[in-house]
Every structure is written in structure tokens, then in C-alpha cells.
A = this chain, B = another copy of it.
């Protein structure tokens, strides 16, 4: 599906269309949706019932794309100071300025924790950023990606070439479809690592935070295989995190850990990850066994890592006391 087919292109300059045309989001049926609004002329404001009472706003230079896919509202705008921005259902997914933190951490936390990963599955991640990072590993032979929304892939290829470069790796197989179904059908014990690069648990990604999905992940992993899933903010969503940790503790019989990193354009400025391993060779996530070889030919076109290094890998597992008390009581 080409994105062109289903989009209506909107004005180039968010500030001139109707004299007060900022881009904002409103809550509709419990979901945030993009809309042209008069709330902050010339700005995009991210509001959601998942972070009530606060909003992060970016100044809009031009709206580059606005469309409605089968699953969600998709928008791309040129911001004044964060580069191009991808928004799904009113929530910022990627900005060119800070995407490095998220993409590098969600990928290298799991892949540097096991020796020589060969088969990797990405669920979600349709912008290609995680693929770009996975493809830095010369040991990797197979990179499967299952993204539900073709429009995300098309929009990324058109507007985010530095992310979509991930699709150019010949080891990548793109499957457009439901990640839950894809995993159910995957042969048992296939993958060394599964990376779940999802949006929030309101909307199309909801099932990716539920027990049956984690069971499928565990089944698809080899013994001692690893999963890394996007796991919300310690400042905003400790109740969600507590539930995820509890579910993971039931399912993953290797180890269950929580890590976090800074991403300025995500709500509360942080995002967390669940890192779990299946029964088998032990995985000590806090102490990476694998390093990115920056001189490797697989890395040359991608440039050096901007964010990840072995020290920040280990540091990511150190939690503030308020979070540690809750997470350790679940994992302990």
C-alpha cells in the first residue's frame, strides 16, 4: 500500500492555513487523535489520558503529511528545533533530534547482552530505526520485522531516510501484519532476540502489553534468548510497569529486568524497557558481552553510535529508589 493513495495532503505551513492553525491533539473515544486546532497556533501539543495535566509542545514549521491508515492517524511535520517529527494518534513516536537514544537503547541493550545474535525479530518498528541498529551486527543473518501499519513504513521511507535506511539491509524481511499472529505462527525456538518497538498500550499496540503476547514471544525464542519491549515511563506509568513485570516474571524463566533511558520528546522525558530471557544459557543484562564494532563494514554507512556505549548500558538498569522498591518487590 502506497501512502500516497490514502492521504490527504494538507497545507505546507501550519501557521497560515486558517490564521490560527496549530496542530494539536484531542481525546476521542479514549484515544488521542491529531487535529488542526486553535489551541496553540503554529505548535503541535501532545496530550493524552496517559499523561493527564501535562503537554509537551513543539513548534511546527510545515506539516509534511497527514493521513489516516487502517489503524491510526499518521502525521509528519517539520519542527523548528527537533527536525522532522512522526506522530501516531497524536503521540510523538520519533523526532530526528533525539531518536538515537530510543533506537540505540532498545536495540543494543538486548543484542549486546548475548554473544553473536543471528536471528532477530522486530515487532512494530515500522519507521526502520531499530532495523538500522540491528543491522550493525555482522553476526546477524536474519532480521524479520512485523509491522501492522504499511503507512508507517511508507511515510518513513519518504520522510525519514536516516531511519528507513534500515530496510535496505538484504537480511531484512518485512512482513506487514499483526505481530501477535506472526509470533503465534513462528516456529518454536527460532529467534535469538525479539525487539518489541510498540506505541502505547492504548490503540493498535494494546495486545503487545498482554500475557498471551509475552507467551508467544517466549515460545519463539531459543533457550537463553532475549526480549526487549518498550515499557513506558517510571514517572508516569508505574502501575502499568508493575503489571508487565508481574506477567514477565511468570513467563520468562531466565531473568527479568527493567532499564530506562532519556528521550526528551517522550512524556516525562524517559522511556523504559523490559529485558527478559528464557530458560537456558544465563543472560546477565547488566554486563554486556558483545560490543558494536564501529570499524565493521556493516557500520560504515550508518556512522558512529550517537548514544549507546557499554557504560550507559549498565547504567540503564540502575533505578531510582521509588521505582526499584516496586520493581524489585515484583521480581524478587
Bitwise interface map of A from 296 to 325 toward B, beta carbon under 8 Å scored 1, else 0: 000000001111110110111011111010
List, in ascending order, chain B residues with CB within 8 A of A201's CB. Answer: none
Query: For the complex, what is the distance from the CA of A311 to the CA of B314, rounded to whole Å?
Result: 10
Q: A45 at interface (Cβ–Cβ under 8 A)?
A: yes
Interface size on A, residues (CB 8 A): 47
Q: A40 at interface (Cβ–Cβ under 8 A)?
A: yes
Which single residue of chain B is at the shortest CB-CB distance from A308?
B321
Determine how many copies of this chain the complex contains. 2
Bitwise interface map of A from 38 to 49 toward B, beta carbon under 8 Å scored 1, else 0: 011001010000
Given A53-B79, A268-B264: A318 and B311 within 8 A (CB)? Answer: yes
Measured between C-beta atoms, what is the minimum distance from A279 to chain B in Å? Answer: 27
The interface centre, meaning the residue of A58, A264, A304, A314 with most chain B CB atoms within 10 A of its CB, is: A264
Q: A81 at interface (Cβ–Cβ under 8 A)?
A: yes
Could you tell me if A43 and B59 are in contact, using CB atoms closer than 8 angstroms? no
Measured between C-beta atoms, what is the minimum distance from A99 to chain B in Å? Answer: 12
13 contacts between A and B (CB under 8 A): A53-B82, A54-B57, A55-B56, A55-B57, A98-B235, A260-B262, A262-B268, A268-B269, A304-B321, A306-B320, A307-B321, A308-B320, A309-B320
